[in-house]
Chains A and B, each alone.
Chain A
Amino acid sequence: MARIGRTTDEDPPVTATLLRKPKTFVPDRLAVPAEAQPLDAALPALLVEGVTKRFTVGRKKKPVLAIDNVSLRLERGGVFGILGANGSGKSTLIRLVSGLLTLDEGRVEVFGHDIARDEMTVKRLINRVSVDAAFFKKLSPMENLLFAARLYGLDPGTAREDAYAILERLGIAKKRVDRPVEQMSRGMQQKVAIARALLTSPALLLLDEPTTGLDPRSKLEVQAFIEEVRLTHDASIVLTTHDLDEADRLCDRISVLNDGRVVAEDSPNGLKRLVAERHGQEPTLHNVFMTYTGRSLDEDVEEDAEPDDND
């Protein structure tokens, strides 16, 4: 069985060519984890039910409702897009699913595992790429990737081979992987972030604005790679983005968040039909965004509702 991010020695070696042959790439075992093999074929990759999250910013202020009774369901192998203005709660929702925030209300399941009760199992199944490529900047991409590999229990020798393969597929030459990350461009760093997530063979990949700030070429490369990952690794993906063309291209289903609430959800074409039929507008995702968020992209100035005070 060919896959990346192997954890045992009995698996055959991975070659870089595997990633160049997506159609023949057999889905890997970790992407369909043994403990998550669905008895019920309808078991979703991600189930979010009635999730609510509040933050208190400042001691005497009223709590801010960051996520308000959000529910969504991502089928295995699907790409679920989340659109919304800055401050709408997209990143907070991703952090809740990642286990980086506790839920105030509701529940989240990943392949049938409750994120609170089965924390370690869920952690093995997911990984995340955020808008800021966060690394130990003085360390090299390989040092950063091997650190992640060890944390996820991967064999370092195998992880090194796999890291080379993934980075090469993302256009990062072998000679670059031992230089400090800080010497790389923003686009390159974001590719390394994607490689770090992919190295652990996540069954559920959480992509939080992975192409924000990238130049057009890098953006297209990353988008193509996301499509390839979906095809070749049986991964289920949650994608938040401000790029509506990207959402249209990559997502099977899209939720629009506004002020922490889901205000619309359907397939991209379904949403476009909705604005055309109900609002008499041209069927574009741009009009979907404007209609359901109640503001234009230019008005997006606020950060996510999470507290960003220092203490």
Chain B
Amino acid sequence: MLTHELKASYAFVERNFNLSRRYWGWELAFLVYSAAGALSISFIGVQLGDARLLLTLMVGAIFWNYLSVVFSWIAETISVERWEGTLEYTMMAPVHRSTHLLGSVAYAMVFGLVHTTAILLAMIVFFPDLALTSANPLTVVSFFILGSFSFVGIAMLAAILPLLYVERGAQMTFVLQSVLLLVSGVYYPIEVLPGWMQVLSHLSPATYAIDGVRRGLIDGVPVTELTGDIWPLLVMGVVLIPFGLWAFGRAERYAKQTGKLKRVG
């Protein structure tokens, strides 16, 4: 049973890999765009002659790139199939929705890592003298992992939107991703935001993940001293992933009640 589900999960990994391969031109264009964006923002730090600001901006750009790639692949689980017209066939297949989402999540993380590594290499080429002597790799890796899983739950919830709203769902997903970028302190401390936006900041896992990575990479803070960032990520991961799965199931049922799995357009 478990083996079957894992093999079925791999079907989504393989399919998404094939899609990336077939759409390689777009993937390359997106990679160049992402790298250019990350470099552009980093050059603000260079202009101001502030090495710490440069590192802060770089970490924000690189780690946000990773999170947004993971978010996009998971959140587009439904919208891609709706666009291609294959959604009904996938929903008819004898696989659990958790299996379906597991495959999407696995590919999203692998793709995100590859994508982000490429951007990191571009950064190293442009800023070869950057000193990271005090970095704490364990902290960085820990927050990478924690950030990934806590983001998965939100992405799953975002993936529901195209199930509920046939066309506008994908647009809503995009808006949600934009709001997360705005409030999560990706390029600036959340303290500069208006008070009501800071409330949203505390609800975003990216706020804690990016802060943890920065403090580990720039200041070399050990992971054990960052419990204030760790526990919100753990709670969000533990709560949001099961909630996302449950909500996905409810949304699927609603779509079947109202006929929204049907291809439109």
Report yes or no: A139 in contact with B89, Cβ–Cβ below 8 A: no
Complex Cα distance, B19 from A180, in Å, reads: 11
**A55 shortest CB reach to chain B, Å:** 6
In the complex, A135 Cα to B95 Cα: how many Å? Answer: 18
Query: In the complex, A196→B92 CA distance in Å?
Result: 13
Residues of chain A from 176 to 200 with CB closer than 8 A to chain B in the complex? 180, 196
Q: Which residues of A contact B260 (CB under 8 A)?
A: 307
Inter-chain CA distance A55–B256, complex, in Å, is: 11
Contacts of B94 in A (CB 8 A): 120, 123-124, 151-153
Contact mask for chain B residues 100-130; partner A; CB cutoff 8 A; 1 contact, 0 none: 0000000000000000000000000000000
Find out whether the CB atom of B91 lies under 8 angstroms from the CB atom of A100.
yes
Chain A residue nearest in CB terms to B7: A150
Tally chain A residues at the interface, Cβ within 8 Å. Answer: 39
**Bound Cα distance A147, B89 (Å):** 11
The dominant DSSP class at the B interface is: helix
A98 contacts B92, C-beta separation under 8 Å: yes
> In the assembly, what is the distance between CA of A135 and CA of B93, in Å?
14
Q: Is B258's CB under 8 angstroms from A150's CB?
A: no
Interface residues of A in 271-311 (CB under 8 A from B): 306-311
From A14-22, A82-90, A125-133, A167-175, give the one contacting chain B. Answer: A125-133
A126, A134, A146, A309: the one contacting B86 at CB < 8 Å is A134
Docked Cα-Cα span, A123 to B88, in Å, equals 12
Q: Is A138 an interface residue (CB 8 A)?
A: yes
Contact indicator A127/B19 (Cβ below 8 Å): no
Instruction: Say yes or no: A153-B259 contact (C-beta < 8 A), given A143-B15, A311-B166.
Output: no
B166 / chain A contacts, CB cutoff of 8 Å: 309-311
In the complex, are the beta carbons of B258 and A55 less than 8 A apart? yes
What residues of chain A lie closer than 8 Å to B96, measured between beta carbons?
120
Q: B80-92 vs A: 1/0 string, CB under 8 Å?
A: 0000111011111
Closest Cβ–Cβ distance, residue B28 to chain A (whole Å): 15
Query: Cβ of B95 and Cβ of A308 under 8 Å apart?
Result: no
Known: A56-B258, A95-B262, A135-B84. A100 touches B92 (CB 8 A): yes
Residue with the highest number of chain A CB atoms closer than 10 Å, among B10, B169, B253, B264:
B264
Interface on B for A, CB 8 Å cutoff?
Answer: 4, 7-8, 10-11, 14-15, 18-19, 22-23, 84-86, 88-96, 165-169, 253, 256-264
